[in-house]
Structure 1
Amino acid sequence: MLVKLPSVVLTEQQVAQYHKDGYLIIESLVPEQVCDALKERMTTLMSGFDARAYRSIFTTNEQSRHTDQYFIDSASNISFFFEEEAFDEQGDLKQTLELSINKVGHSLHTQDALFRAFSLSNVWGSMLKQLGMQEPRAAQSMYIFKQPGIGGEVNCHQDSTFLYTDPMSVIGLWFAIEDATLDNGCLWGVPKGHNVGLLKRFERIAPQAIKTKMVVMKEYQWQDSELVALPVPKGSLVLLNGEFPHLSYANRSEQSRHAYAVHAVDQKCDYPEVNWLQPNVGNVFPAFQANT
């Protein structure tokens, strides 16, 4: 890392707020130089991507979610997913590649040195323990672009739908690499909505299978009136309970909204073999390391 990350000791009030509301915002935590370094590194990774070889479009509609081998393999490598509106009727990109990618995932935290150093810092591991995790592990990571003009809407969802543990343990760490505003697609969420419980599970039809299914666990519909906006400045961290319902609207502005997310699970909890994302090395997810 270019700059040492600041250690964080959460106050009793912050811990209580997280458990009560299902989320916690810590503004301007990550130094600007670190945000810029991650953004620059992603630009370098993008330059090595051959768009002609893979055109896997990321969609937030679970019923049409791409579940091909490329998607499954992304659990253990760095994969690129296009915006739904990136291509014209002839299948050609409407704009440059850099403005066409929706996200990159899902193992930046293991496959790239800079993202690994940031993602696995014990600063985050310590924070997760303060929130109640016994043995936090980093299961998934993704860099989200929210491209200007075509940044797609992310429907209301719960992160534990995709990373189920028993008992529930998922916590998302969502970092604003750029300012997240009402205009460019900031997060929205339902305070206390995590108390409803998990509604769906996205899983493989069987261990090691490529085909997946969405299992409805509970029928419930959050109302738009319950949503609150969570705009944050660059460098902010939003901690999300795995059952916290959240979304982001489409970005029709001229300003991108880059973000980086790491999802952690507790190693002490059961992690089913039918979860779509499975650990690749030693059958365990990587632990958070000493401060960098």
Structure 2
Amino acid sequence: MRHTLRNQLEEDGYVVLEDFLRPAECDELLAAGLELTKQAPDSDDKTIFSTLENDKQQLKDKYFLESNDKISFFFEAQAVGPDGKLQVDPSVSLNKVGHALHLLHPIFRCYTYSDRVKAICQELGFREPAVVQSMYIYKNPGLGGEVVAHQDATYLYSEPVPPIGFWIALEDATIQNGCLWMARGSHKSGVHRRLIRNPDKESKQALIYDKGAPVYPQSGFTPVPVSKGTCILIHGHVVHKSAQNKSDKSRHAYTFHVVERQDNAYSPDNWLQEGENAPFQNVYTTPQIV
């Protein structure tokens, strides 16, 4: 098993692990995700999350940069009116919550540093795996925005060993409600572009891309619908995306990224750096409960 999991990730760029979580465990995480919607800020200054290229707000936004060691809230563009007020029920207004749930929230911490995650890291050959960020993704019905084709290493660059994403479906992910689409084998062509901290300190843009957006042919993508409780392991260089959720069913997911710390360089240019309250802790030695 140890050999095959690693081989499949290196061959395809992703691996589908069914029944990674039991339905009741998914329900516990879902309840925690819904509870977070009640804690979202009610101020007029709501941070919108979008992966679309023309939306530069997030790149300029201090809130995003400072979310490395906090539980921060990012709203869907369609959920917020021009006046900053919510146009939908708060329970369906969020795009995601991040980026330190794995350390600061007891339930998400428990699942992130579980024996199952440790075992997967061992099978993948990690010597000193560390979780660098985590996100609860809502993909709400009718609102859940498109996530454009990207590589995770664009945002979390490390070399020579790339980061690995754990993407856990807390509800069935279907083509209708915005499941992942993977470009199988695309990880073999290196990192196509990076989002880096702007070396020009005078600029208002804190983060910049080092190259223009690559164009990926639609024919290269395969939909990966999965059932509740499935974990998709995502190679940091594989190109993937998800469509807007146009259905009447949500597609909640919990995701986190692991990087190798031993003989591997995590780029100081990455937007996300270790925070005082969110060190990059070893998966093998970090307790599930504080």
TM-score (norm 1): 0.90
State the Cα distance separating 1:283 from its structure 2 match.
8.3
Distance in 1 (alpha carbons) for counterparts of 2:25 and 2:75: 25
2:241 aligned counterpart, secondary structure: strand
1:185 aligned counterpart, secondary structure: coil
| Residues 1:58 and 1:239: Cα distance change in structure 2 (over 3 Å) | same
Q: Which amino acid aligns with 1:158?
A: Q
User: Does the CA contact (< 8 Å) of 1:208 and 1:274 recur in 2?
Assistant: no
1:29 aligned counterpart, secondary structure: coil
Q: 2:227 aligns with which of 223, 228, 233?
A: 233
The yes-or-no answer on 1:204 pairing with 2:197 is: yes
Q: Which residue of 1 is the match for residue 27 of structure 2?
A: 36
Between stretches 261-270 and 118-127, larger displacement belongs to 118-127
User: Does the CA contact (< 8 Å) of 1:122 and 1:291 recur in 2?
Assistant: no
The yes-or-no answer on 1:242 pairing with 2:214 is: no
2:273 aligned counterpart, secondary structure: coil
What is the root-mean-square deviation in Å for CA atoms of aligned residues? 2.2
State the Cα distance separating 1:94 from its structure 2 match.
1.9
State the Cα distance separating 1:125 from its structure 2 match.
2.7
| Residues 1:171 and 1:32: Cα distance change in structure 2 (over 3 Å) | same
Q: Which residue of 2 is the match for residue 73 of structure 1?
A: 66
Q: Which residue of 2 is the match for residue 271 of structure 1?
A: 266
Residues 174-213 of structure 1: pairs in structure 2 closer than 5 A: 174-206=167-199, 211-213=206-208
Distance in 2 (alpha carbons) for counterparts of 1:122 and 1:54: 40
Distance in 1 (alpha carbons) for counterparts of 2:277 and 2:170: 31
Q: Which residue of 2 is the match for residue 3 of structure 1?
A: none
Q: Which residue of 1 is the match for residue 280 of structure 2?
A: 285
2:210 aligned counterpart, secondary structure: strand
State the Cα distance separating 1:220 from its structure 2 match.
5.0
TM-score (norm 2): 0.90
Residues 1-292 of structure 1: pairs in structure 2 closer than 5 A: 10-52=1-43, 54-65=45-56, 66-67=58-59, 68-206=61-199, 211-216=206-211, 220-268=214-262, 269-281=264-276, 284-288=279-283, 289=286
| Residues 1:201 and 1:253: Cα distance change in structure 2 (over 3 Å) | same
Structure 1 segments of 4+ aligned residues over 6 angstroms from their partners: 207-210
Distance in 2 (alpha carbons) for counterparts of 1:12 and 1:271: 25
1:274 aligned counterpart, secondary structure: coil
State the Cα distance separating 1:16 from its structure 2 match.
1.7
Distance in 2 (alpha carbons) for counterparts of 1:214 and 1:112: 31
Q: List alignment gaps of at least 5 residues for structure 1.
A: 1-9
| CA distances 1:235-259 after superposition (whole Å, capped 9, x unpaired) | 0000000001000000011000000
State the Cα distance separating 1:41 from its structure 2 match.
1.4
Residue correspondences, number: 282
Distance in 1 (alpha carbons) for counterparts of 2:13 and 2:230: 17
State the Cα distance separating 1:166 from its structure 2 match.
1.7
State the Cα distance separating 1:54 from its structure 2 match.
4.0
Distance in 1 (alpha carbons) for counterparts of 2:153 and 2:246: 28
Between stretches 101-110 and 10-19, larger displacement belongs to 10-19
Between stretches 230-239 and 205-214, larger displacement belongs to 205-214
State the Cα distance separating 1:44 from its structure 2 match.
2.0
State, as a whole percentage, how many aligned pairs show the same letter: 36
User: Does the CA contact (< 8 Å) of 2:138 and 2:251 recur in 1?
Assistant: yes
State the Cα distance separating 1:221 from its structure 2 match.
3.2
User: Does the CA contact (< 8 Å) of 2:162 and 2:237 recur in 1?
Assistant: no
Q: Which amino acid aligns with 1:279?
A: E
